[in-house]
């Protein structure tokens, strides 16, 4: 019974991880950019939710759409005025640039908000419900549902809208997309902005359940990378599946060998995946 409860806790945690990796995987898959600044956008999303909640008094779950809108605009500006100039450059240049953006944002955050931890306190923070013999915290359960909802919305956006079709075309064949009238610059701005909005949503959900600080983004960046490799690029379901599996593995490793070894298990998993199936569980299929 305890073992099953641990598995359920791992799945709930995996929902958060899935949202963290969703935006990272989107930008990587469409623009072929390993966005090192993704962790900084997660951190900014966490602080945006924190400040919106503490200043206005509204529920942090209600604040998530506002956070996503703010981060969408921030991502569009970063792409339009910074990333756009090196978007087709070698990978080493884009990695270096996004790493610089990460450091800049983190240091600005440290100067503005200090390194002190902050947390959002909600009346239902400790509320739980039972489903049979199993225990579910309300906050983590809601976050798990939001993870599925965001994944479904992104799938519909990519597969059922005109902009989504343009994004798929850009991913499949850049030159053919240009010849068919797709505005590549606009598509890249939208893709990066959506990735930033998803990072903001993930940060907001993290702020609801964990203390936050300007340095938090680095660890979540590593998680995003591992989950993207695990799930495989080219599908909206990839980050969801990868996140759920990663959450399960982290929960099991923490229970069996201790929390101090969970990072070792995570990076060992990354190495094994790269050796056995570099394309990830779902492979590198198109949307």
Report, as ranges of residue numbers, the positions in the chain whose pLDDT lies below 70.
Answer: 1, 234-235, 259-261, 282-287
What pLDDT is recorded for position 36?
Answer: 94
Distance CA 38, CA 101 (A): 9
Q: How many domains does the chain have?
A: 1
Beta bridge partners of 130: 135
**Whether 231 contacts 239, CB under 8 Å:** yes
Cα–Cα distance list, 210 to 84, 213, 229 (Å): 34, 10, 25
Structure token pair of residue 191: 């893709």
123 inside domain: no
What pLDDT is recorded for position 129?
Answer: 78
What pLDDT is recorded for position 3?
Answer: 73
171 inside domain: yes
128 inside domain: no
What pLDDT is recorded for position 51?
Answer: 95
Q: Where are the alpha helices (DSSP H) in 38-137?
A: 38-56, 60-81, 91-113
Domain range spanning residue 252?
2-115+137-276
CATH number reported for the structural domain that contains residue 270 in this entry: 1.10.3470
pTM: 0.90
Distance CA 255, CA 262 (A): 10
Torsion region of 64: left, alpha or beta (phi above 0 gives left; psi -120 to 50 gives alpha): alpha
**Using CB atoms within 10 A of its CB, is residue 179 exposed (0-12), middle (13-18) or buried (19+)?**
exposed
121 inside domain: no
**Cα atoms in the Cβ-side hemisphere of radius 13 Å centred on 158:** 25
- Give, as one character, the DSSP assignment of residue 136: E
Structure token pair of residue 34: 């390993």
**Whether 147 contacts 243, CB under 8 Å:** yes
225 inside domain: yes
196 inside domain: yes
130 inside domain: no
154 inside domain: yes
């Amino acid at each position: 019974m305890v073992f099953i409860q641990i598995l359920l806790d791992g799945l709930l945690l995996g929902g958060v991880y899935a949202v963290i990796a969703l935006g990272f995987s989107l930008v990587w898959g469409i623009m072929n950019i390993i966005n090192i600044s993704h962790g900084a956008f997660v951190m900014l999303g966490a602080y945006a939710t924190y400040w919106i909640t503490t200043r206005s008094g509204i529920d942090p779950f209600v604040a998530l759409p506002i956070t996503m809108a703010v981060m969408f605009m921030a991502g569009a500006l970063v792409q339009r005025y910074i990333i756009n100039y090196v978007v087709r450059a070698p990978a080493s240049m884009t990695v270096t640039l996004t790493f610089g953006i990460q450091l800049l944002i983190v240091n600005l955050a440290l100067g503005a908000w200090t390194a002190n931890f902050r947390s959002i306190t909600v009346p239902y923070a400790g509320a739980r419900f039972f489903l049979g013999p199993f225990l579910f915290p309300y906050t983590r359960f809601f976050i798990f549902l939001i993870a599925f909802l965001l994944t479904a919305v992104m799938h519909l956006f990519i597969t059922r809208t005109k902009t989504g079709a343009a994004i798929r075309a850009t991913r499949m064949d850049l030159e053919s997309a240009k010849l068919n009238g797709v505005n590549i610059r606009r598509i890249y701005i939208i893709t990066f902005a959506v990735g930033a909005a998803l990072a903001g949503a993930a940060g907001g959900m993290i702020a609801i359940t964990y203390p936050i600080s300007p340095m938090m983004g680095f660890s979540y960046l590593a998680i995003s990378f591992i989950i993207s490799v695990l799930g495989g690029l080219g599908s909206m379901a990839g980050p969801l599946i990868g996140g759920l599996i990663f959450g399960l593995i982290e929960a099991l490793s923490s229970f069996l060998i201790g929390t101090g070894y969970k990072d070792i298990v995570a990076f060992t998993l990354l190495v094994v995946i790269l050796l056995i199936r570099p394309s990830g569980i779902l492979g590198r299929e198109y949307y």
